[in-house]
Amino acid sequence: MTTWKRDMVKTERGEFELFTKGDGPPVCITHHYSEFNETGDYFADAFTETHQVFLVNLREAGRSPKADQPYQLSMLETVFDLEAVREALGYAMWGFAGHSTGGMLGVIYGIHFSASLAFNVIVSAAAREYMTFSKDCIYHSGHPKFQRMQDLIEALKRQDLSSDEREALKKERTKLSLYAPEKYEEIFSRNIDKKMSAARMNFFSRELHIYDVTRKLCLIQTPTLILCGRHDVQCPLNYSEEMQEGIQGSELVIFEESNHYPFLEEAEKFTEAIQRFFEKIY
pLDDT of residue 13: 98
pLDDT of residue 159: 86
CA-nearest of 158, 222, 173, 197 to 78 is 197
- Tell me the sheet residues that pair with 27: 53, 95
Q: What are phi and psi of 180, to 5 degrees?
A: -125, 85
- Tell me the sheet residues that pair with 99: 123
Q: Are 32 and 101 in contact (CB under 8 A)?
A: yes
Q: Are 43 and 18 in contact (CB under 8 A)?
A: no
The span from the CA of 107 to the CA of 243, in Å, is: 9
The span from the CA of 258 to the CA of 179, in Å, is: 5
Beta-strand relationship, 52-56 and 14-21: antiparallel
Could you give the maximum distance between any two Cα atoms of the chain, in Å?
A: 49
Walk along the chain (282 residues) and give the pLDDT tens digit of each residue.
568 999 999 999 999 999 999 999 999 999 999 999 999 999 999 999 999 999 999 999 999 999 999 999 999 999 999 999 999 999 999 999 999 999 999 999 999 999 999 999 999 999 999 999 999 999 999 999 999 999 998 898 888 999 899 889 989 999 999 999 999 999 999 989 888 898 999 999 999 999 999 999 999 999 999 999 999 999 999 999 999 999 999 999 999 999 999 999 999 999 999 999 999 998
The span from the CA of 170 to the CA of 107, in Å, is: 27
Q: What domains are defined for the chain? A: 5-133+192-281 (3.40.50.1820)
DSSP 229-247: ETT-SSS-HHHHHHHHHHS
